Structure 1
Amino acid sequence: TAVPTDEPVIIIVPTEEPTVEPTVEATVEATTEPVLTSEGEIETSAVPGAFSSEYIVAMNLNGSAATNVTLDLYTNSATPVQTLSKNAFAGGGVTFPLAQFNNDGQYSGVVSSSDPIVAGVYNTNFTGKLSDMYLGTSNPAQNVNLPLVYRNHFSNASTFYIQNAHSVAQNITVRAYLIGTTSPKVTKTYNSVPPNTTLTVNFASDSAYSAFGSGNGAYGYALITGSAGPIAAVSQTIRDIGSDRFMTSYNGLNPSTDAGTSLVAPLVYNQHFDWITGITVVNTENKNTTVTMNYVSNKGNGSKSISLAPNAVGLFYLPDINPKASYGSATLTSNNAKIIAMVNNARAAQGFGSATAALNSSAATSKIAIPIILNSNSGNAWRSGITVYTFGATTVTGTFVKVDANPATSGNKIVKNISLGANSVGLFYGPDFLPASNYTGVLYLQASGSTKIMALANVSNLVGGFSGQMPGVNY
């Protein structure tokens, strides 16, 4: 969970249509601290084409005053190679176009402001038909969990991008746990990683992780630790199966804030138009626990329970329960220990997939920020769908604000409302009301009566044949 702050936000910057209803990812809270955003570029030798951070967006949560937003870019030293700065209107958003970068390459970045901000990155590879988006991390931690990692399981290959968010160089240790085990199969330490720089771990191909295994069945989770201070991480996975390849990415989770005994997955699938969901669950504590998944769908309800030993990881595979050919939401309840979970949605035959964390219900609030909303009915044909889960009956107001524009100016702000019953899900579908050409915006959600809500954004590209997802930031 990222928290709105004026400290840096960490980001990593590389230079048949999917359902617009998003899946789940961990809640990020806005922060005035620099948002550390670390995102690495996938190795270009693995797939055709090149990766670009098509959209780097920061939004100003201060609705009454403008603020200056700075993006510092780092390569392999603690000194930024370039600094970009823009003014964000009150309640508005700004973009950092790649055209302003001095050089092509792979960077880590720190987005900062004196006011609370939220930042996001959307990476694309149009030639390879790959993309995903993720939130900047405003609360880096000394221990970070990647709840779903692959070492060539059904052609899924994971790469980790780990940013040193500490003020000095430190060692970073990766512990990789295989499904069905309770102790790490591989432990590897990387020494003296400079501050603000990003370490790339080729988990699927590096022989240092061979003891984890490779091929079908070689999946699990990774626990990453900084020797002296906080880190941030992004896990990216490519399933390279020719023209139907797809990519997923997600932020590493902080076990102390993202773990809980009650998690929510606002959107899951059980063989709904070839979409299938698997949910990996990690027991973060040193005691046994039983985890129950309750599935509420458009065709009825189902449930299943699994037992997890300390540090173990287990799997809920939606096709194992009824009703089939359905979609809905899921809650995960642990009776004895805090858990974290990753929701993996895939329409593999058509080359679509996403991985987003189940949301800790204790982090829910009545206000949410989402930093990337795209829409275009022609050209690149972007589509945005925002799924909102509410814990009580409420009216949710969505305020869509065009980036790099004053929200107070007519036409730069669009307001829509949806009414929801308790424990239900609603959808804001961008093409129904957003401008039809080249729209880039940010979104503020507000529930009436202080009702707690959570949200996910799915932003797909019909021409590129890919989609990205990110959670809303509760604040």
Structure 2
Amino acid sequence: MKHWSRRFGVVLLALGLLVASSAPVTANWSAPTPTASLWDIDEQLVVPYLPNNETLAGTGPWHGTVTVANASNFPVTVDIAKADGSPITSVNLPGNGSTTLAAGTLFGSSPGGGLLLSGREQGGCASQAVQEFTKTRGTPANTADTIALPVPSGVNVTQVVVSQGTTLYAAPADYTFSQVGTTLNISWAPGGAEPAGGSAYSVQVAYDFPCRPARLSAAVKLMAPAPSTNGRTSSTHLMVSGYAGLSRASAVGSTLVAPIAQANYSGWKTVLHVTNVGSTLCSVTVKLYQHPSGTQTHTLTQAVAAGATWNLDLVAAGVPNNWLGTARIEGVGCQLTASIDRIKPTQPWGTPVNMALTNLALPAGSLTSTVYVPLVFQAYFDWNTGLAVTNAGGVPATVTINYYGTNGNLITTKSLGPIASNSMDFDYLSGSGGQLAQAVITSTQPIIVSVDAVKYTGGGADVGQALTSMGINGPLTLTPGLPMPLLRVPLFQKQGSSGNDNSGIQLFNVGGAAATVTLDFFDASGAPQPPSPLTVPGIAPNGAVTIYAPSQAPLPANFQGQVRAAVTAGGPVVAITNNVNYDVQADGSAAFNVATGQRALRVDFGKVANKSGVDTIIVAQTVDENGVQMPAQQILVQGPAGLTITTSPAFTNMFGAATVLVKGTNTTAPVTVCWDLNTNGNCDPTEPQVMQSLSWAP
């Protein structure tokens, strides 16, 4: 078999990489999920659309699978829900394990749709780091009350706050507490102040071992016309496509930008899948802008129920043949996510046909003016890549593209523009002979880039293959004190008796120094497999390296599992992955995002509403990129003058958790909790943090 890089390309979608939105998060005490930092970008994953025996652009029926990988080294439970949060099922994954679920298993005989994936640690941990209980004071005075704690045995209470209205009781003057198993005893034996017998009072508690956030990644594989139960494809399939699940912060917004849309343009037909992941009905508008002018030519609207998907076929909606352009998806106040299928069932010049590409629409606010493209083909064994650069800004954009060889040397610099707002321009790397390249694209406006690689000519089973990727948003912002992000490939396959699916990973060093990357391969049970650990040294600045499954002889045949790649020197490094099976009748290629993982901060807040002068408990938890607790980390809690903050800085215990008390008097104030990585006593903008407005107003 030829080397992977000769046969097909690989792709990645921007995922927010290191620093996510700094917007405040809203505490909701009634919700079972704790308030968590948006910097923890993979707390929940979103699958915009998974087809289930459905016709798309006149082809199919289309089916899908979703592969979920546990990037933590401890067991987790993954809760899988419909897009409105309605639970479907839960699956248990061992540490470093993965599993594949078919659309038919998840949706039954119903049409497919969007999915929400959330993970939680299994075992002896507290699902909430802070809890509040309402207790009725017993009689007589100076006796004890007991509370049954809803936590596993072995989880210990580290802090208690007892209050009644705006009265805060003091320990040990008024009460003491002790724990026996999962029973908390509040003893009023000291003889100080206490609630009247028969009256209700509040008890806040903090636990020493809160459950760690699961570190998840997911790959969605699409196939027609036959289903797959395990993510493998075969000669029963005609077309294959794919994409990776995104973090909620990267996937969901009220305005999304689709990089390219076609209405029977050179045979390519587009279906937009717009899913409402909010809790209420949403009025969605899709605006179409024609290339090259950027003129809005069509406005399409649809009321989309909570959890529902609007499958918008542009040709069926009346968009004229040979229309080419971009799309914006808008829903005021809505929570939307979307994927875009582009399918080529016919060809103006005959063959090849039955090609499929899948892009994702991204929130407009997440787009940047720097984009990385890890792989570009220029007549490389008849593969060619076209870059569609869309201006998502409000004024015309000027774009510069630097192409680099795999050795890191600059090949050429190209300029595009001015590109009108909401329009696009195209570029193809030219030259003599075939070559592989990478690209760094900079613009004067935010852009979104679709990277289409196709093979229309040549010989062999790989003619008629098609791949698409989306440029990776940059520039990468690295936080001092943090390692390089961990790269996560949820689905990596090697051929064998189970099928001829093969995967590859492209590593692109976008840093200024040579990079070293170490890769670990884990099968579905979570067991490491050879050649783990595989060290790849000396990736040149702006250079790239390919890791191809069949070229890794020690990797067992039929391998299916995940790969994690750590940048141990140099960098940053971004990556793309791809999967192909030439037994598929027409287009057997699928492309997936490579998610990244970094150290994470989780913050739980106690309930303090309408309790002037009463402490609220704040618990901060720190974990590394693999979900391992990090002890002895400095945590700061900061707020305006007038707040009383006890024990800040605080230091995390052996379970990576630290507890701080905060109280105010007749006030509402913003409180910031941060992981003080450089221990300078300040919550620096680049450090992981949560800002929450807390109220002690009567």
**Residue matched to 2:536:** 418
Residues 136-155 of structure 1 correspond to what in structure 2 (within 5 A)? 136-138=245-247, 139=249, 140-155=252-267
From 447, 456, 460, the counterpart of 1:348: 456
Q: Which residue of 2 aligns with 1:91?
A: 96
Give the residue type in structure 1 aligned to 2:499.
N
For 1:253, what is the secondary structure of its paired residue? strand
Higher relative contact order (CA 8 A, sep 6+): 1
Partner of 2:470: 357
Q: What's the CA shift for 1:412?
A: 8.5
Match of 1:462 in 2: 582
| C-alpha distance in 1 between matches for 2:104 and 2:54 | 22
Gaps of 5+ in 1: 1-15
Tell whether the 8 Å contact from 1:377 to 1:431 is kept in structure 2 after alignment. no
Q: Trace 1:113-192 onto structure 2 (pairs within 5 A).
A: 113-114=119-120, 115-125=214-224, 127=236, 129-138=238-247, 139=249, 140-191=252-303
- Aligned amino acid, residue 399 of structure 1: D
Residue number in structure 2 paired with 1:398: 519
Say which SS state the counterpart of residue 337 (structure 1) adopts.
Answer: strand
SS in 1 for 2:61: coil
Q: After the TM superposition, which of the residue ranges 375-384 and 30-39 deviates more from structure 2?
A: 30-39
Structure 1 residues 309, 384: CA separation in 2 closer, same or farther (over 3 Å shift)? closer
C-alpha deviation, 1:457, in angstroms: 0.4
Tell me the distance in 1 between the aligned counterparts of 2:432 and 2:8: 22
Provide Cα deviations, 1:328-384, integer angstroms capped at 9, x if missing partner: 1111111x2222211111112421111111111224753211211111134521111
Provide the secondary structure at the position in 2 that maps to 1:431.
helix
Give the distance between the partners of 1:49 and 1:310, measured in 2 at CA: 36
Q: d(CA) in 2 for partners of 1:307 and 1:317?
A: 11
Report whether the alignment pairs 1:38 with 2:149: no
- Flag the 1:386–1:328 CA change in 2: closer, same or farther, 3 A: same
How far off is 1:187 after superposition?
1.2
> What secondary structure is seen at the aligned counterpart in 1 of 2:296?
coil
Alpha carbons 1:87, 1:94 under 8 Å: kept: no
Alpha-carbon distance in structure 1 between the residues aligned to 2:262 and 2:591:
19
CA–CA distance in 1 between the matches of 2:454 and 2:448? 20
Report the CA distance between 1:282 and its aligned residue: 1.5
Match of 1:198 in 2: 309
TM superposition shift of 1:24: 4.3
State whether residues 271 and 326 of structure 1, in contact with CA within 8 Å, keep that contact through their aligned partners in structure 2: yes
Q: Is the 8 A contact 2:352 2:456 kept in 1?
A: no
Q: Is the CA contact 1:26–1:356 (under 8 Å) kept in the aligned structure 2? A: no
Aligned residue number for residue 117 of structure 2? 111
- What residue number does 1:245 align with? 354
**How many Å apart are 1:260 and its aligned residue?**
1.8
Report if aligned partners of 1:28, 1:471 keep a CA contact under 8 Å in 2: no
Query: Are positions 1:445 and 2:565 aligned together?
Result: yes
The answer to whether the 8 A contact 1:291-1:305 is kept is: yes
- How many angstroms apart in 1 are the aligned matches of 2:61 and 2:395? 45
Tell me the SS of whatever aligns to 2:365. helix
| 2: CA distance, partners of 1:46 / 1:182 | 25
TM-score, length-scaled by structure 1: 0.85
The offset of 1:401, in angstroms, is: 1.2
State which of 407, 415, 427 in structure 1 corresponds to 2:546. Answer: 427
The separation in 2 between residues aligned to 1:454 and 1:205, in whole angstroms, is 38
Match of 2:331 among 191, 204, 226: 226
Partner of 2:413: 303
Matched, 1:66 2:75: yes
Cα distance in 2 for residues equivalent to 1:49 and 1:37: 20
Alpha-carbon deviation of 1:98? 5.2
Q: Is the 8 A contact 1:168 1:194 kept in 2?
A: yes
Cα shift at 1:33: 3.7
* Preserved contact between residue 404 and residue 543 of structure 2 (Cα < 8 Å): no
Query: Is residue 2:7 matched to residue 1:19?
Result: yes
Q: Which amino acid aligns with 1:422?
A: P
Give the whole-Å Cα distance in 2 for the aligned partners of 1:413 and 1:93.
Answer: 19
Residue 466 of structure 1 and its aligned partner are, at CA, apart by: 0.9
Match for residue 166 of structure 2? Answer: none
Using structure 2 for the length normalisation, give the TM-score.
0.59
Separation in 2, partners of 1:201, 1:40:
15
Q: Which has the larger radius of gyration?
A: 2
Q: Could you say what secondary structure the match of 1:44 adopts?
A: strand
Structural RMSD (CA)? 2.7
Residue aligned with 1:348, SS: coil
- Between Structure 1 and Structure 2, how many residues are aligned? 441
TM-superposition CA deviations, 1:390-436 (whole Å, max 9, x none): 12312111111112x133xx648833121112211011111123645
Amino acid at match of 1:279: L
Alpha-carbon contact 1:31-1:118 (below 8 Å) kept: no
Instruction: State the SS of the aligned residue for 1:272.
Output: coil
Q: How far apart are 1:243 and its partner, in Å?
A: 6.0
Q: CA deviation at 1:440?
A: 1.6
Query: Is 2:341 the counterpart of 1:236?
Result: yes
Matched letter for residue 321 of structure 2: S
**Corresponding position of 1:7:** none
> 1:252 is paired with a residue of what secondary structure?
strand
Unaligned runs of 5+ in 2: 18-39, 121-213, 225-234, 458-462, 478-483, 598-698
- 452 and 418 in structure 1: CA distance in 2 versus 1, 3 angstrom threshold: same
CA spacing shift, 1:73–1:431, aligned 2, 3 Å? same
Distance 1:427 1:325, change over 3 A: closer
SS of equivalent residue, structure 1 residue 263: strand
In the TM superposition, what whole-angstrom CA distance separates every residue of 1:301-338 from its partner, at most 9, and x where no partner exists?
A: 1222111345242323315x33453221111111x222
- 1:273-312 mapped onto 2 (5 Å cutoff): 273-297=381-405, 301-312=411-422
* SS at structure 1 position matched to 2:223: strand
SS of residue paired to 1:50? strand
